[in-house]
Amino acid sequence: MGLGGTTGENQPATSAVRPLYRDDEDGALALRLRRFRSVEVPPEARKQLLFRLERATRVTTAGWAVLLLSANQGADVVATAGTPAPIHRSLAEMRYAAGTMTGLPPYLVQRAASQGFIVEVQPVRTSGEVQGHLLLGFAYASRNGGNTKDSVGLVADDLSAFLESLALSGLIERIRSHLSLIHRLGQQVTSIREREALFAEITRLVYISLGYEHVQLLLTDPDARSISLVHAAGTHAESLLAAGFSEAVGRGIIGRVAETGRMWMSQDVTQDAHFVSNALLPNTASELALPLRLGRRVVGVLDIQSDRRDAFRPDEVVLLQTVADQIAPVIEQHRLLAAERRERELADTLADVSRIISSRLEPNHVLEAVLHQLGRVVPTRGCRVTLLGDDGRMRVVAAKGYPDNGKVKRHSFLPGEAPLSRPVMEFHRTLIIADVRREADWVWQPGTEQIVSWCSAPLVHGNDCIGWLCVDWPEPDFYTAEHGRVVRAFADQAVVAIENARLFERTRELSDILEYKVNDRTRLLREANAEIVRKAGELQALWRRVVEVQEHERQRIAYDLHDSVAQSILAATYQLQSIRRRIGDTPDLDRRVTECQATLDSSLSEMKQIIYALRPNVLDELGLVAALENYVAALPRNGQLEASFGIAGSPCPLKPDVELAIFRIVQEACQNAIRHSQASSLTLRMSYSEKKIEVGIIDDGRGFVFDDAKLGLGLLAIRERTQVVGGHLIVETAPGAGTRIAFSIPKEACAA
């Protein structure tokens, strides 16, 4: 049955006779089809054919033997070595078609006679079809008339059996390759998501693999009891698809197959009363319609048409039915997968809407997002959210897809002014209107003139309806009950968003008041913190000033002691020496003068130590490292105390105030260790690196319990001096574990 509606009573004009095969541009289609139906002789089989021909010449006493097989442009000649060259050349050049040749052409008979031979010809058949001809050349003298024909017939039967085995082997190989193609068909089409692409791939693979002129795929509609063309492949595929085709189940070849679920094969459509011709396929000579079955249900028909009679061999029909049996589950699987994808997309979209609702509370943002997500699963040209206000009027609070969305949102009305609002607002119904132009209760709103098909779902919160969500399309009969279900699901999500937004608005005032108070308190805290920072800065400055005054006072006292007391002691020493010279040999006076001299020397030495402690001159003259070495070397060696000084890195000049601070920190730490730790060893270490200067004072004394909140005056002075020069102090100690005082100063802050 062709894909058309013409009957035998209204046939188109008879067209010119068309060729056996409708080729594509390079003739590949005809060649592929011819090879599919012919016997292919591989090289190994050709050797065996030649061996059988040589044996036939010996058995029949023929002079030579030739086997003619159909080739692309003429004859494929398999000849024995004794075949005369003129005869061999003539056979190779002749126009040969195995199915139409009934005897040897006269000119070949004459040419064989001129060579002294009489030629016997017998057809060679496979599966009842003539595949070639056997020619045996007998010399006139050796020809045995009585047994020649029988001998030639036996040789022809032997060759036919051999070619039949080759044909069966080729058929098995073709079936195997086509079954492999069927497997690939199942693998490829299951990954295709679009319906049209799936049908196109099915027809393309069948058309390319089998080589018939026309392939059509049709699907049934059980509700309408019809079957319709969904895709085609072949020379006139585009024309067939453009014209379209739909047939009632039970009518014609395709209709009967869709109704019965049984294959129908017509080897000659002119003799088939059920065939209905198609003007686009006037040369159809054979048709094969295969049901696409899922159990007892017929989902469609695979229709194959050929321009030649008797085009379908029984073994090929089995293969084609296998193809059809593979296509049916693929189509059904695609349908189920498509339905599953739609449900998953709906669930994903609802999840997205829920996420949007939970992430944002602004009404405008939430409603616009809901409308945007709605378009993912429900086709819309326009969509709106209409809410009932506190004043009793309905207002469009969100709109999308209209020529002027602002105009749509500016309109308001009372519920009684729109009769269709009652079933939605009062009875909470989902409404679907196929064509609003035919709806008597429809009321047009400004900016919505594009609406034809309309679907609306109520926004129900608790027992109250606060508005509705609606979608529209500019064509009639567009929305279905499934669309209404999806819109209602979105409406249920939207109403949650709206109520959350209302609560958000109600709490916004309290939030603003709270935020104002928090901001005011934050401002007060910020001001208090700024005041603390300012006071801390003033204290730092005051501490620097105190340290500076202290150092100046120490320097003044040191100078005064050096210039007054030390000079007086030195003068007294000189006077005692002068008195000693005057008193002569008076032992008692000399002893007393010596004691007085020793007392003055001791006082002068202590005075120098005091002056050095107040202001070491070596710090100004030789620098920090020399001053620390001199200071550690001059530490009193009470008991078993051993003091050492080490340095790492390359010393560099520092700012005077930094050098003085380091010296005072070391001085204070060492004095604390001497006075309180009862240590036997004291180690001072300095380290110079690219980024900082580190100083550590370590003793092995008795240690103490460290409390940062209760520092003594010595440690407090050390910490303050460290902070003044931008350093960081670490104190590590414990009872019985000694004490480690370490501090570091960034080099960039102290380098001179």
Give the full edge-to-edge strand order of the sheet including 264-266: 246-248, 226-234, 214-221, 297-306, 286-294, 264-266
Q: Which is nearest to 396 in space by CA: 379, 365, 462, 406?
A: 406
129-158 confidence digits (pLDDT tens): 788 888 888 887 666 655 778 888 888 888
Average pLDDT over residues 47-65: 88
Task: Give 584: exposed, middle or buried? Use CB within 10 Å, 0-12, 13-18, 19+.
Answer: exposed
At residue 117, does pLDDT exceed 80? yes
The whole-number average pLDDT for the span 68-90 is 82
Q: Which of 87-91, 136-140, 171-175, 177-181 has the lowest mean pLDDT?
A: 177-181
Exposure of 51 by Cβ count < 10 A (0-12 exposed, 13-18 middle, 19+ buried)? exposed
- Angular region, 465: left φ>0, alpha ψ -120 to 50, beta rest: beta
Structure tokens at 252: 């014609």
The CA-atom distances, in angstroms, between 538 and each of 715, 720, 724 are 21, 14, 12
Share of the chain above pLDDT 90, in %: 12
Task: Compute the distance between CA of residue 681 and CA of residue 701 in angstroms, rounded to an integer.
Answer: 8
Helix (H, G, I), strand (E, B) or coil at 205: helix
Helix, strand, or coil (residue 391): coil
Give the pLDDT score at 603: 75
Closest C-alpha among 555, 541, 530, 551 to residue 723? 541
Please count the other Cβ atoms lying within 10 Å of the Cβ belonging to residue 424: 25
Query: In the prediction, which pLDDT does 459 show?
Result: 92
SS (H, E, C) 580-632: HHHHCCCHHHHHHHHHHHHHHHHHHHHHHHHHHHHCCHHHHHCCHHHHHHHHH
Per-residue pLDDT reduced to its tens digit, 598-611 = 777 777 777 766 76
**Burial letters 622-656, b for 16+ CB under 10 A, else e:** eebeebbebbbeebeeeeebebebeeeeeeeebee
Span 293-317, average pLDDT: 83
- Which pLDDT band holds residue 326 (cuts at 50, 70, 90)? confident
Q: Sorting pLDDT into bands at 50, 70 and 90, what band is 638?
A: low
Helix (H, G, I), strand (E, B) or coil at 681: strand
Q: Is the pLDDT of residue 65 over 50?
A: yes
Chain centroid to Cα 405, Å, comes to 35
Cα 217 versus chain centre, distance: 35
Q: What is the pLDDT, as a whole number, of residue 431?
A: 93
Which domains, and CATH codes, for the chain? Answer: 40-175 (3.30.450.40), 192-340 (3.30.450.40), 356-508 (3.30.450.40), 616-750 (3.30.565.10)
Please report how many Cα atoms fall inside a 13 Å half-sphere around the Cα of residue 52, on the Cβ side. 21
- pLDDT for 589-600, tens place per residue? 777 777 787 777
pLDDT band at 19 (very low <50, low <70, confident <90, very high): very low
pLDDT band at 456 (very low <50, low <70, confident <90, very high): very high
Q: Is the pLDDT of residue 161 over 90?
A: no
Residue 428, CA distances (Å) to 274, 488, 495 in order: 55, 10, 13
pLDDT of residue 229 exceeding 50, the answer is yes
Give me the mean pLDDT over the 321-340 stretch.
77
C-beta separation of 446 from 413 below 8 A: no
What pLDDT sits at residue 3? Answer: 37
> Tokens at residue 114, please?
């001129």
User: Residue 584's pLDDT is what?
Assistant: 66
Q: Tell me which range, 202-211, 403-412, 526-535, is most confidently predicted by mean pLDDT.
A: 403-412
CB within 8 Å of 595: residues ≥ 6 apart: none
Q: Answer for the pair 481, 455: CB distance below 8 angstroms, yes or no.
A: no
Q: Is residue 473's pLDDT more than 90?
A: yes
For position 393, what pLDDT does the model report?
92
One-letter identity of residue 642: E
Dump pLDDT digits (tens) for 182-205: 666 666 555 666 777 778 877 887
Q: What is the pTM of this model?
A: 0.41
The pLDDT, as a whole number, for residue 639 is: 61
**From 239-253, 511-525, 634-648, the region with the lowest mean pLDDT:** 634-648
Q: Nearest CA to 305 among 204, 189, 205, 210?
A: 210
Rounded (5°) CA angle 169-170-173: 90
Residue 535: Cβ within 10 Å count: 11
Average of per-residue pLDDT values in the chain? 79
| pLDDT over 60 at 713, yes or no | yes
pLDDT in the model for residue 245: 86
Two tokens at 35?
Answer: 């090879």
Nearest to 214 by CA among 320, 317, 305, 307: 305
d(CA 449, CA 26): 56
At 619 the pLDDT is 72
| Per-residue pLDDT tens digits for 368-420 | 777 888 887 788 999 999 998 888 899 998 899 999 999 999 889 998 888 88
Identify which of 719, 725, 695 has the alpha carbon closest to the alpha carbon of residue 707: 719
pLDDT at 29 over 70: no
